Structure 1
Amino acid sequence: MANKEQPWHSLLAGATAGAVEGFVTYPTEFVKTTSQFGGQRQKPLEIVRTTLQTKGITGLYSGASALIVGNAAKAGVRFLTYDTLKGMLADKDGKVTAPRSLAAGLGAGVMESIFAVTPSETIKTKMIQDSRRPNPQYKGLIHGTRSIIAEEGIFGIYRGLFPVMMRQGANSAVRFTTYTTLKQFVQGNTRPGQTLPSSITFAIGGMAGLVTVYATMPLDVVKTRMQSLDARTQYRNSFHCIYRTFTEEGITRFWRGTTPRLVRLVISGGVTFSVYEVCLSFHLFTALWDRIN
């Protein structure tokens, strides 16, 4: 990760990586989110089959615009914050210990939750659930956002902020720590002082995604339920949601949707870190930013 890059390079490269990753992996996000709604008993492949039969291939991209835009903003904020904090916490050789990388990742997760993830995830979740109704109400990202705010106020798109902050903080802390630790290990033992090829970067990013999924899945389930259309009538707060889910459906329900999320985060980890590193190595945004200024 380029701790010597200018902040705007991290922001723009991260946003590009986030947008690409969001589009490539969205169908898995659609299936994961759908499987987590209360009362949903279909397995991932059944959800895919039903959606294709009733909505076509575009059905798997219901709510995609909200996630792609949000993913670009999220990744931009995430990499900007992480690279900034990592630069502050690195030693004189530019290396970061696992605990410091964990702290930088946690800070990045909290920042992205507030500025990007919660609004986009709430809108995406409601649009996915709405798309499965006989007569969907939302006509697109802008109409859906306006409708949610009109019905629930600005806090309607910030529903589930606490579980989102918990999930994103844990996500970023685990993912960045795993990625940075593995990258430093591989570079130190095989390619000291050299840039890693994209294939190795993709593999390391994928491994980081794998570890992240199993460590943070319960937080993701609670987040989805707190952002659903019927959350206001079902749960008083996040802790009430956890209590009801555990007592009514059992502890295994907290890992519902693991398979599609695992597919998504393994792929997204590889895609995101690969695109990010490529953007920085080619300095694609250096000339752009210099031209803007």
Structure 2
Amino acid sequence: MAKTQKGDKALHSLFAGATAGAIEAFITYPTEFVKTRSQFGGKKEGPIAIIRETVKTKGFGGLYSGCTALVVGNSVKAGVRFLTYDYFKRKLSDSEGKLSAPRSLLAGLGAGMTEAVIAVTPSETIKTKLIDDAKRPNPQYRGLIHGTVQIVKQEGIAGIYRGLFPVMMRQGANSAVRFTTYATLKQVVQGTARPGQPLPSAITFGIGGIAGLVTVYTTMPLDVVKTRMQSLSARAQYRNSFHCAYRIFTEEGLLKFWAGTTPRLTRLVLSGGIVFTVYENIMKVIGNSGEETS
């Protein structure tokens, strides 16, 4: 019976996380598009200029170039993230089921590393190449499936795993910071303002948003290196992630590591609010207490 309940909880966590990830990715995708475009080398473009130029030349749909890759990848990523975080959380909790902040950080790190290998690197590599290709006068990729086939044909499976190391570093840091910030703030709010009571969606959204904000500023350099390593010109420009970071620092300056902060901040603040709120509400609907991320 206990084994069945654990299996049910795992499936519930996977389903709720995957659904939350897909919804969040679609809603916030234009900010991801702008963030990715602003991190490529060459001419410096501000968020408004990128939006204006894209809509003018490609129409509003241009802001969704590469969207399918991210929605599918984000769905799998979020499902894996919550599933593995819950697994590591159970393993690292004390005898009373409580998780200290350092152990929450470790659980989040493990979840982030796992999702990077299984879902994030392939989906983000494809998404980044599709966005990079879309700004060319004559794009070579006709969509997700055609683009993926062409990338694999030209570069092999390694082509969709470009930038694995910086993605693992970014996702590990992302999940570690986000889950720890969220869990800590949630415990503080429940312990002071609403002891023993479930939090309303508005408060969950707010806590998730703050977790997203903290995550952005602490992990932005890793995100910039990840984007450069997944661009179409990466093989010709960079030997590895460290060489990429060195060239960015010496040729473009320290501040370039925070390029795309505004659109990524917009996305992750919304993302944190949307994902945790949708996740917890789905868990409540399908019979769980909604405490899986506490």
1:30-179 to structure 2, matched below 5 A, reads: 30-179=33-182
1:8-52 Cα offsets, whole Å, 9 max, x none, are: 111110000000000000000000000000113110110001011
Q: Which residue of 1 aligns with 2:187?
A: 184
Instruction: Give 1:92 deviation, angstroms.
Output: 3.4
- Alpha-carbon contact 1:34-1:40 (below 8 Å) kept: no
Residues 199-210 of structure 1 mapped to structure 2, 5 A cutoff: 199-210=202-213
What is the CA distance between 1:91 and its match in structure 2?
2.6
For 2:287 and 2:261, the matched residues in 1 are separated by 35
Q: Distance in 2 between matches of 1:95 and 1:68?
A: 33
**Residue of structure 2 in register with 1:20 after alignment:** 23
Out of 212, 219, 228, the position equivalent to 2:231 is 228
- Per-residue CA deviation, residues 112-138 of structure 1 (Å, 9 max, x unaligned), is 000000000000000001011111111
One-letter code aligned to 2:102? P
Q: Which runs of 4+ in 1 moved over 4 A?
A: none
Aligned partner of 2:267 among 259, 264, 269: 264
Of the candidates 11, 14, 18, which is equivalent to residue 11 of structure 1?
A: 14
Show the counterpart of 1:289.
none
Task: Name the CA shift for 1:116/1:38 in 2 (closer, same or farther; >3 Å).
Answer: same
Give the conservation status (yes or no) of the 8 Å contact 1:226–1:235.
yes
- Cα pair 1:19 1:69 within 8 Å, conserved: yes
Give structure 2 stretches of 5+ with no counterpart. Answer: 289-294
Amino acid in the other structure paired with 1:280: M
Within 5 Å, give how 1:235-254 maps onto structure 2: 235-254=238-257
Structure 2 letter corresponding to 1:80: L
SS at match of 1:236: coil
Name 2:219's counterpart in structure 1: 216
- Give me the whole-angstrom Cα distance separating, in 1, the residues matched to 2:195 and 2:96: 13
Structure 1 residue 192, shift from structure 2 partner? 2.0
Deviations 1:69-112 (A, max 9, x none): 00000000000000111122223333211000000000000000
Unpaired segments ≥5 residues, structure 1: 286-293
Distance in structure 2 (CA, Å) of the matches to 1:23 and 1:221: 22
Q: How many residues align?
A: 284
Equivalent residue letter for 1:121: E
Structure 1 residues 84-93 or 154-163, which shifts more? Answer: 84-93
Code of the residue aligned with 2:134 in structure 1: it is S
- The 1:273/1:122 distance shift into structure 2, 3 A limit, reads same
CA separation in 1, counterparts of 2:14 and 2:287?
A: 12
After superposition, the Cα gap between the structure-2 partners of 1:272 and 1:40, relative to the gap in structure 1 and judged at 3 Å, is farther
CA RMSD of aligned residues (A): 1.5
Which position in structure 1 is the counterpart of 2:291? none
CA distance in structure 1 between the aligned counterparts of 2:266 and 2:154, rounded to whole angstroms? 34
- Using the size of structure 2 for normalisation, the TM-score is 0.94
How far apart, CA to CA, are the structure 2 residues paired with 1:40 and 1:283? 49
Q: Which amino acid aligns with 1:192?
A: P
